[in-house]
């Protein structure tokens, strides 16, 4: 399969590396309005077809799917452009500016019979994946409580300065990943309560969020996120898990240590992700997950399956983000049915 990528910025380099590793697909065209970034990416990855205008690239065609790696305001017009061109779509998160845009984007691609997947890669980190598969396999019986935690003091603003400028920050940028992990582990959510704080005076949005989720299957989970936590050693960018089930407990601790306790026995596994040749610590777990989710996308297209994080599925994660902000603003529990 031939693909095109729109957006050659900070994170998109990981996607280009990931596509180079994927079996069954290759990127044949790239697009970016910044001519310097476009040239650098083209030279680094040996891609000759380069466009400064997405409409021109779609008009030229010659590819089966597009990977949209731009910022949120451009997502709807680009997804609708891709739908008009009749190609499959993988789109970076956050998916949309609002629920109406998200629904419109999903409908536009569905009308063409093509596949839309959101690049929600945290659930594809190999350590998190090991926990998901253990839980789905009944390792601790039926879960009834979980905690999904990401707490760090890592400077994410130096590489992505725009993160400090928005009125929304940690739930929209990071919490969306952690909420999606909670959905992958425990299923969809009926109700959410959230509180937020801004500790860093040099940013506009919130950098601490704590959320209580009531899942439809009966699980209660706590999702907590922080970029204001100072501790040693720094655990960025690890997501930590603590899950109680009817037959035992499961923990994913710092250092990629997965512990399963059941029937008086304890199993401890090292689920450290590999450091791919193009990756670097501490980002390597995220970088590996990029390659894994992109392979999942291609495999699903080849087999005619719906990807785990399809547009329709991700709409439920996106709704959790919107509900969390509504809860924090109004100081109340929010039913997802409201959205």
- Predicted confidence (pLDDT) at residue 159 exceeds the cutoff of 90: no
Q: For position 162, what pLDDT does the model report?
A: 87
Q: Provide the percentage of residues in the chain whose pLDDT is more than 90.
A: 96
What pLDDT score was predicted for residue 10? 87
Candidates 240, 254, 227, 224; CA nearest to 155 is 227
Instruction: Quote the mean pLDDT of the chain.
Output: 97
Instruction: Annotate 292-322 with DSSP letters as a single string.
Output: HHHHHHHHHHHHTPPPTTBHHHHHHHHHHHH
Q: What is the pLDDT of residues 7-52, one digit of tens each?
A: 999 899 999 999 999 999 999 999 999 999 999 999 999 999 999 9
Task: Show the beta-strand stretches assigned E in the chain.
Answer: 2-6, 26-31, 49-51, 65-68, 88-92, 116-119, 143-151, 189-197, 208-215, 220-226, 240-245, 248-253, 257-262, 265-270, 334-335
- What pTM does this model have? 0.95
Percent of the chain with pLDDT over 70: 100
Cβ contacts of 208 within 8 Å, gap of 6 or more:
170, 196, 197, 198, 199, 225, 226, 227, 228
Euclidean distance between CA atoms 125 and 116, whole angstroms: 21
So what's the pLDDT on residue 80?
98
In this prediction, residue 116 carries a pLDDT of 98
Domain with CATH 3.30.360.10 in the chain: 123-277+310-338
**Chain centre distance of CA 19:** 17
Is the pLDDT confidence value at 58 over 90? yes
300-307 long-range CB contacts below 8 Å, 24 or more apart?
Answer: 300/115, 300/117, 301/1, 301/64, 301/65, 301/88, 301/115, 302/1, 302/24, 306/115, 307/115, 307/117
DSSP single-letter state for residue 100: H
Q: What pLDDT digit, counting tens, does each position of 276-305 carry?
A: 999 999 999 999 999 999 999 999 999 999
| 98-155 per-position pLDDT tens digit | 999 999 999 999 999 999 999 999 999 999 999 999 999 999 999 999 999 999 999 9
> What pLDDT sits at residue 92?
95
Under CATH, what is the fold of the domain 2-114? Answer: Rossmann fold (3.40.50)
All CATH 3.40.50.720 domain ranges of the chain, comma separated, are 2-114
Query: Average pLDDT in the 161-186 region?
Result: 95
- Which DSSP letter does residue 272 get? P
339 vs 324: CA distance, rounded Å: 11
Regarding beta strands 88-92 and 65-68, do their DSSP bridges make them parallel or antiparallel, or are they unpaired?
parallel
- Closest by Cα among 91, 282, 71 to 81: 91
In this structure, the dihedral spanned by the alpha carbons of residues 224, 324, 290 and 240, taken in order and rounded to 10 degrees, is 10
**pLDDT for 338:** 95
Please choose, from the candidates 256, 122, 248, the residue with its C-alpha nearest in 3D space to the C-alpha of residue 184.
122
Express the helix, strand and coil content of the chain in percent, nearest 5 each. Answer: 40, 25, 35
Question: Which CATH superfamily does the domain covering 123-277+310-338 fall into?
Answer: Dihydrodipicolinate Reductase; domain 2 (3.30.360.10)
pLDDT over 90 at 167, yes or no: yes
Q: Is 337 exposed, middle or buried (0-12, 13-18, 19+ CB in 10 A)?
A: exposed
For residue 94, name the pLDDT band (cuts at 50, 70, 90). Answer: confident
């Amino acid at each position: 399969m031939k693909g095109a990528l729109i957006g050659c910025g900070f994170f998109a380099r990981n996607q280009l590396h990931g596509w180079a590793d994927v079996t069954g697909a290759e990127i044949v065209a790239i697009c970016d309005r910044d001519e310097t970034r476009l040239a650098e990416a083209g030279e680094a990855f040996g891609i000759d077809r380069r466009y400064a205008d997405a409409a021109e690239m779609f008009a030229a065609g010659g590819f089966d799917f597009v990977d949209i790696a731009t910022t949120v305001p451009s997502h709807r017009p680009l997804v609708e452009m891709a739908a008009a061109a009749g190609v499959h779509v993988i789109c970076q998160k956050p998916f949309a500016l609002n629920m109406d845009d998200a629904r419109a984007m999903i409908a536009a691609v569905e009308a063409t019979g093509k596949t839309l997947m959101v690049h929600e890669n945290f659930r594809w980190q190999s350590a998190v994946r090991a926990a998901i598969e253990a839980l789905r396999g009944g390792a601790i019986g039926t879960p009834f409580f979980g905690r999904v935690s990401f707490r760090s003091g890592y400077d994410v603003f130096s590489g992505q300065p725009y993160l400090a400028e928005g009125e929304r920050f940690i739930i929209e940028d990071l919490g969306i990943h952690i909420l999606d992990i909670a959905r992958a582990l425990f299923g969809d959510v009926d109700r959410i309560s959230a509180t937020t704080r801004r500790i860093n005076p040099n940013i506009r949005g919130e950098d601490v969020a704590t959320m209580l989720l009531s899942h439809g299957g009966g699980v209660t989970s706590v999702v907590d996120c922080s970029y204001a936590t100072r501790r040693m050693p720094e655990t960025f960018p690890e997501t930590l898990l603590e899950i109680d089930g009817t037959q035992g407990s499961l923990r994913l601790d710092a250092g990629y240590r997965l512990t399963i306790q059941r029937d008086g026995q304890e199993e401890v596994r090292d689920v450290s992700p590999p450091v791919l040749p193009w990756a670097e610590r501490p980002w390597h777990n995220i970088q590996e997950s990029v390659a894994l989710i992109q392979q999942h996308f291609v495999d699903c297209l080849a087999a005619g399956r719906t990807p785990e994080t399809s547009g329709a599925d991700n709409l439920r994660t996106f709704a959790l983000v919107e509900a969390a902000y509504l809860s924090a603003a109004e100081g109340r529990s929010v039913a997802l049915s409201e959205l």
